[in-house]
Structure 1
Amino acid sequence: MVADESLTLTAVVGAGLGTKPPTRVRFRQPQHGRASRVDVICKQLMACIVLTNMNPPLSSPPTVENILLSEPNAANGHDPKQDIKSTALTVHLYHWGKTREGADHLEDTLTFPPGEYVAEELCITAAKACAITPGYCSLFGLMRESDQVWFPPNHIFKLHHTDNESLHLRIRYYFPGWYNGSNSSCAHRYGLSKGMESSVMDDCVMAYLFAQWRSDFLSGRVQIPVSHEAQEECLGMAVLDMMRLAKESDRLPVDIYNNTSYKSLLPRCMQSHIQSYNLLTRKRIRYRFKKFIQQFSECKATVCNLKLKYLISLEMLLPSLYSERFQVTDLSSQEATIIVNGNKGILWCKGGEEQGADEVYCDFPEVIDISIKQGSKEGSAESRIVSLTRQDNQILELEFHSLSGALSFVSLVDGYYRLIADAHHYLCKEVAPPRLLECIQSCCHGPILMEFTISKLRHSGNCQGLYILRCSPKEYDKYFMSFIVGYESMVEYKHCPIVKTESGEFILSGTKRSFGSLRELMHCYQKEELRTDGHTFQLTRCCPPSPKDKSNLLVCRNNQVSEVVLFPLLHKHISHMVFHKIRKEDLSFSDSLGRGTFTKIVRGVRKELGDYGEVHQIDVVIKILDKAHRSFSESFFEAASMMSQLSHKHLLLNYGVCVCGDENMMVQEYGKFGSLDIYLRKKKNCVNITWKLEVAKQLAWAMHYLEDKHLVHGNVCAKNVLLIREEDRRTGSLPFIKLSDPGIGIAVLPKEVLVERIPWVAPEFIENRNNLSLATDKWSFGTTLWEICSGGDKPLSTLDCSKKNLFYEDRHQLLAPKWTELANLINSCMDYEPLHRPSFRAIIRDLNSLFTPDYELLVESDMVPGRIRELGFPWASVSHEPAQFEERHLIFLKQLGKGNFGSVEMCRYDPLQDSTGEVVAVKKLQHSTAEHLRDFEREIEILKSLHHENIVKYKGVCYSAGRRNLRLIMEYLPFGSLRDYLIKHKDHIDSQKLLHYASQICK
């Protein structure tokens, strides 16, 4: 164990070096062989060093004095040529270079003239100078030493000739215990399979960390306890350091000892502490130190081993080296300390550092979103409130005393999240790395290794035309387009380089054309036929990064179960049906609430007997499956079972099912304010932008919950979202919604029903039923978001099924709102490439980013999308078909008549569900055979063409179940049929009235 190994080193190196009487160290001689005492000491030292399988650096670190990151900005008001020799920015590197004496070391620096520099680009330039490869660059950050401020990667330094900014390139992200590579439970980078894991750091990064921590240790940057135990640890580390110096200079440790004071290898506070001892004690310490140096003269440990043991000792001695602390104020104005640690996550200590123990708030993978906004009015203008949203939708709000402190904290959590949970996701746009945003825009992977690239191609279909765009794992500003050529068993994997020039242009190897972005380059070559090594092919489908892809970019910590799945199953059925059975006697039925595609919806009351004999009553909604659709019973019960096994505050409760004879019923929670689309139309002038965004965010949370469980809902739309609570602006209560069950599963619906549901059903599923995936729900969410923005309007409602199909075939988009960020979100959800749609984690983040003071400047029209007639498509003219009534809004009142072929019902068409709708007569067929349907359609066409005061007025039609069921909607005449009226009132009707009726019939 590491702790025991450290103790072993202390026993060998540190014993007797302190103020206590020296302990005599005895080494047992082996019974066989002639091992010397020094050999035994060396073996004990080596036993303390656990090596990992670390890759050697690609090249030795170059010595760099001046690197110009970008051309000086001429807009700064001075001549760039005059400033080229002036220095406005210095980046210090913990980069070892020997002095002439061979003992002391100086920091290397990079200097930059006045201009504008992005922090991420500075970091990359410095990493190049230190031979740090792209795969490890995410461990680094830039810090200003004077005030200990870390800069987010997107920070822009605007420097003039009078400025003198000084920064340090530092390893910021650290995972304790990373060095024990022989133990798979310790921190490591993921491998393609077990046994193929790699180290968190390679030799080059480890050497940089050694230089950084050694500098912190000796300079006193971190506080060291002044105690006898700490003193012995420090002296032991000084022995290691002196041995390292001897190895690096190819000299004997004794020579280094004779030319170097051992105190120079100790922290300043420890030097002062030892200097306070009397002369005799100081001589004894120096004498014992020399004896140990002499004993270690023939030790075979390498420089790398000695540095590693030095780091291990420092990690145990000074945890503050890899934990960051932030002083904040919570919403109750109480001081608190936030601690961020690579292994433990985000901790806090209420009441400041001195009071109480550290409590874990959450781990990095649990964070969904972070936002930054202006601080409270009572605070300073510089203060900022950081809102951190957890997986369970709990929000922690902290007030930082400065913007720089807030950005430092957020960028730290954001960086750890990308190292642990998802390498291609950011939690907060205010600190998002520019290169990451560029990669996301271009569907480009980070610097993943070739084996992960080939594995992803194989799992994505392994067919010709498939390709992956990725950053080079060895060189900056170089990319690879990895693709497949050949067929079946003759498949080959090719990796074509793409180079980014100094001017920022992108060029594909073997071509001469240059492009301004990776996206432009790929858009061009996807249209062309390409040739390589005798193969002719065309790029057809990109494999973008998937949420939580496992690769060498992710670190698995020593306290972390391998929760990241390499290629997660996108759809998982609940293994068996589970639901509560409810007796029909316990249900009472009241008002009709309309119809679904295959169900009647009724409001009711459920009665349940309590433990003490009391009767509980609760309002419920009862969905009754039509007897004509009993073939869908299994799917109906699957939906009930799925909802019964899920628990989320934004998912509608399912109380159980009731089966009585040939009636199948689902009993659900009652939503007092009805479906969302109806409420939006009813309250169009009352709901504002904030209301709509809040409702959209709540729906996204429900979808994130389902996505996390790899469950596809399949029927996300505004009419399937129920409003449980209205907004109350007096109390600050927000609206509250719940997503209802999916109903009959999308996978078993007839084709015509699916086409009728365009544009809620994703285009890839219309094309092929095997394409059901989590991405299907993302498309549906985009359409639902469009509905919410439009105030409950239905997209493409004026188009018939053939034109809806054409809408998908021509890859058109719904006309988006004027609000650019909102339009981009809708369009990204409704991307025709399923793999390009964002995760719901990203959707929640983007919705939260819209809650800024800027949206208060927007007017409602900025959020309302255009109509289909405004799109300008040649086929997008408004349908001349009279109004099509929605079956769900037909509220049955009573039956007016029934014959051999059909029946007539009295219904209220109540689209606002407030009993204000018009009463109509609805005629429907008893049998929906093709012949009956054709006859009925002819009857409707005749009635539609007749306009006379003595002919019943045609109002429209109502299709359901994919146009299989047809209903005729007519005006309601309260006196009913003339025949029945005459029989009922024959005693009051004279000949004159009969002639009048006959005359009207003749007309």
Structure 2
Amino acid sequence: METFEVVKVWVVIDSTVNSIPCSDTCTAEELCIALCKKYKIPPLTRTLFALRVKGSNCFLKDNFNVLSGSREYEFRIRFKVPVLAHLITLDEMTYDYYFQQARNDVNSNSVPEIKYPDHKKELLGLGITDMFRAILEEKISLKDAVRNYKNHIPKVILRRHGHFPKKYALETIPTILVHDVNYVKSQYLQQMYTLAPNYLAEEYCDVQWQTGKSVVLVHLHVAPFHEQQPGLRLYNSITREWIHIGTIEEIIYLTRNGDNCLEVSRRGTPLFFKFKSEEELSSFISVCDGYYRLMVKWTFNLSKDDETPSLKDLHRLKCHGPVGTTETYRLEFKGDCYQFNNEQYYSLDHLVKCHQNPEGRIYLKECIPPSEYVQRKGVRIDQAELQEILKDNKSPRCLSTKDIMLYIALLTSGSGTCIYTYAPARTGLYASACCVLPCAGE
């Protein structure tokens, strides 16, 4: 019989602490999914979130049992989306969560790159911008916003400058002519990105770098969008130099070697590190793995000892989960028929007609091409069928070079947006289209 114990989770957009009963098998991923459902975060952006140990900089890996830790966690967006316009188009609720998290970090002086007094004016400007945002979004008066100015001005400014921000707000806010709250939020975040271009980067201090017989203490830095050294880099405490390890895409796998030791296999010589604790080691593995799945290949875990539970289940079931906010099914062409949901159909029209009832078990709304990592044999498509497939399609198609078969004495003909290449006395073209998934930063 399962036992349940309470876990406390702090959420940026909720002033009330969540007390959630969890079973002794509940993982960090399961708890994140439950919180996403509660706060209307869709599956499309759920993987940006993770649980951070309260009072620490360490995050939980997906398969961590939440009852075996501190039982006090923070629900945060862990993975950075470098282009803010992309995030708001994905989901407005996630965008708002990102904004609220960023303003909380700024106000609590939790962004290492933003320092007082170097950025004194900018910090005050961010506070005034947030006050104006509250006036627009919460429909409050200037008088009410100024009365609650301590909720918006960074704490370091309040400590050093007393009531000056209050006076400055009364003089400045009436001169602002913008009335779009999302524009105000975007300007706040853009200014923060200018001050802290590596916001959400993670640093692991006093890590032992094992090079041959010598050991050097280094700081490991994970910042996939760093301008000069994107991905992984380390600071050598002896030479006092930054060394670029490689990009996220260049990581091949991460291997635990016992006693908090880790091998980083990359394109080049592997590196060996020893972390101060299991918590830091797991946090480092999970941030690298998370970015790898978002930017390179979402169906692959870098560490076989730290598998994502939901991904493990999908591999076991030999299927993939939702791509958007609805269920997605895989469609395969077997040469003489189409296979869909373990059933065979002689044509696409037949398949669609069988699933046009919105009240049915499966309502076929949209067909999505398979991932570029799905291994498929070449499929022969005759010219008439190719015309039928492409006649209503105005977008370009990318053909993988390894899937194109070369014929001698090829002829090319076409009109409009369709071009066909075929061999004389033949009616076929061997090819398969591939769908390229963009990196998180594109």
**TM-score of the pair, normalised by structure 2:** 0.73
Aligned mates of 1:241, 1:482 — CA distance in 2: 53
User: What count of residue pairs does the alignment treat as equivalent?
Assistant: 375
> In structure 2, the residue corresponding to 1:361 is in which secondary structure?
strand
Query: In structure 1, what is the equivalent of residue 199 of structure 2?
Result: 321
* Equivalence map 1:468-617=2 (5 Å): 481=341, 485-487=345-347, 492=352, 509=361, 547=373, 568-570=400-402
Aligned mates of 2:48, 2:236 — CA distance in 1: 29
Letter in 2 for 1:273: R
8 Å contact from structure 2 (residues 224, 247) kept in 1: no
**Cα deviations by residue, 1:111-152 (Å, 9 ceiling, x for unpaired):** 225633211100100111111111111111111022222110
> In structure 1, the residue corresponding to 2:126 is in which secondary structure?
helix
* Equivalence map 1:816-855=2 (5 Å): none
**Is residue 57 of structure 2 the alignment partner of residue 175 of structure 1?**
no
Classify 1:450/1:495 alpha carbon distance in 2 versus 1 (closer, same or farther; 3 Å). Answer: farther
Task: Tell me how large the CA RMSD over aligned residues is.
Answer: 3.8
**Is residue 388 of structure 2 the alignment partner of residue 388 of structure 1?**
no
Classify 1:568/1:432 alpha carbon distance in 2 versus 1 (closer, same or farther; 3 Å). Answer: farther
Letter in 1 for 2:160: H
**Cα deviations by residue, 1:674-730 (Å, 9 ceiling, x for unpaired):** xxxxxxxxxxxxxxxxxxxxxxxxxxxxxxxxxxxxxxxxxxxxxxxxxxxxxxxxx
Letter in 1 for 2:243: E
Query: In structure 1, what is the equivalent of residue 52 of structure 2?
Result: 143
8 Å contact from structure 2 (residues 127, 154) kept in 1: no
Aligned mates of 2:124, 2:138 — CA distance in 1: 21
**Cα deviations by residue, 1:424-479 (Å, 9 ceiling, x for unpaired):** 1111122211110111121212322499969x748x56864423xxxxxxxxxxxx
8 Å contact from structure 1 (residues 483, 494) kept in 2: no
Q: Which sections of structure 1, spanning at least 5 residues, go unmatched? A: 1-71, 75-79, 81-86, 97-105, 182-187, 189-197, 276-281, 376-383, 468-480, 498-507, 511-531, 534-542, 550-564, 576-769, 774-1003
Of 346, 349, 353, 2:232 maps to 346
Query: In structure 2, what is the equivalent of residue 337 of structure 1?
Result: 219
Query: In structure 1, what is the equivalent of residue 339 of structure 2?
Result: 466
Aligned mates of 2:16, 2:398 — CA distance in 1: 41
Query: In structure 1, what is the equivalent of residue 240 of structure 2?
Result: 355
**Is residue 19 of structure 2 the alignment partner of residue 90 of structure 1?**
no
8 Å contact from structure 2 (residues 24, 65) kept in 1: no
Query: In structure 2, what is the equivalent of residue 127 of structure 1?
Result: 36
Aligned mates of 1:152, 1:236 — CA distance in 2: 37
Q: Tell me the CA shift for residue 227 of structure 1.
A: 2.2
Classify 1:107/1:493 alpha carbon distance in 2 versus 1 (closer, same or farther; 3 Å). Answer: farther
Aligned mates of 2:25, 2:19 — CA distance in 1: 15
Aligned mates of 1:122, 1:359 — CA distance in 2: 37
Of 189, 207, 213, 2:102 maps to 213
Query: In structure 2, what is the equivalent of residue 419 of structure 1?
Result: 294
Q: Tell me the CA shift for residue 400 of structure 1.
A: 0.9
Aligned mates of 1:145, 1:320 — CA distance in 2: 22
Classify 1:128/1:449 alpha carbon distance in 2 versus 1 (closer, same or farther; 3 Å). Answer: closer
Aligned mates of 1:234, 1:208 — CA distance in 2: 20
8 Å contact from structure 1 (residues 118, 155) kept in 2: yes
Aligned mates of 1:450, 1:120 — CA distance in 2: 18
Letter in 2 for 1:389: S
Classify 1:359/1:256 alpha carbon distance in 2 versus 1 (closer, same or farther; 3 Å). Answer: farther
Aligned mates of 1:411, 1:113 — CA distance in 2: 22
Q: Tell me the CA shift for residue 571 of structure 1.
A: 5.0
Aligned mates of 1:295, 1:92 — CA distance in 2: 36
**Cα deviations by residue, 1:567-592 (Å, 9 ceiling, x for unpaired):** 745457899xxxxxxxxxxxxxxxxx
**Is residue 175 of structure 2 the alignment partner of residue 295 of structure 1?**
yes
**TM-score of the pair, normalised by structure 1:** 0.34
Larger radius of gyration: 1
Aligned mates of 2:252, 2:26 — CA distance in 1: 30
Aligned mates of 1:350, 1:492 — CA distance in 2: 60
8 Å contact from structure 1 (residues 141, 171) kept in 2: yes
Aligned mates of 1:482, 1:308 — CA distance in 2: 46
8 Å contact from structure 2 (residues 43, 324) kept in 1: no
Query: In structure 2, what is the equivalent of residue 374 of structure 1?
Result: 258
> In structure 1, the residue corresponding to 2:300 is in which secondary structure?
coil
Q: Tell me the CA shift for residue 320 of structure 1.
A: 5.0
Aligned mates of 2:350, 2:233 — CA distance in 1: 53
Aligned mates of 2:310, 2:25 — CA distance in 1: 17
8 Å contact from structure 2 (residues 404, 430) kept in 1: no
Letter in 1 for 2:11: L
Q: Which sections of structure 2, spanning at least 5 residues, go unmatched? A: 376-396, 408-428, 433-442
Query: In structure 2, what is the equivalent of residue 117 of structure 1?
Result: 26
**Cα deviations by residue, 1:152-200 (Å, 9 ceiling, x for unpaired):** 00111336xxx96111111111032x1245xxxxxx8xxxxxxxxx94x
Query: In structure 1, what is the equivalent of residue 411 of structure 2?
Result: none
Query: In structure 1, what is the equivalent of residue 117 of structure 2?
Result: 227
Letter in 2 for 1:166: E
Of 249, 253, 259, 2:147 maps to 259
Percent identical residues: 20
8 Å contact from structure 1 (residues 482, 494) kept in 2: no
Query: In structure 1, what is the equivalent of residue 438 of structure 2?
Result: none
Classify 1:438/1:127 alpha carbon distance in 2 versus 1 (closer, same or farther; 3 Å). Answer: same
8 Å contact from structure 1 (residues 423, 548) kept in 2: no
Of 160, 163, 169, 1:273 maps to 160
Q: Tell me the CA shift for residue 335 of structure 1.
A: 1.0
Aligned mates of 1:574, 1:361 — CA distance in 2: 41
Aligned mates of 1:566, 1:157 — CA distance in 2: 44
Aligned mates of 1:488, 1:129 — CA distance in 2: 38
**Cα deviations by residue, 1:619-664 (Å, 9 ceiling, x for unpaired):** xxxxxxxxxxxxxxxxxxxxxxxxxxxxxxxxxxxxxxxxxxxxxx
Aligned mates of 2:130, 2:343 — CA distance in 1: 49
8 Å contact from structure 1 (residues 336, 351) kept in 2: yes
> In structure 2, the residue corresponding to 1:322 is in which secondary structure?
coil
> In structure 2, the residue corresponding to 1:349 is in which secondary structure?
strand
Q: Tell me the CA shift for residue 319 of structure 1.
A: 3.8
8 Å contact from structure 2 (residues 232, 244) kept in 1: yes
Classify 1:289/1:259 alpha carbon distance in 2 versus 1 (closer, same or farther; 3 Å). Answer: closer
> In structure 2, the residue corresponding to 1:347 is in which secondary structure?
strand
8 Å contact from structure 1 (residues 132, 204) kept in 2: yes
* Equivalence map 1:899-938=2 (5 Å): none
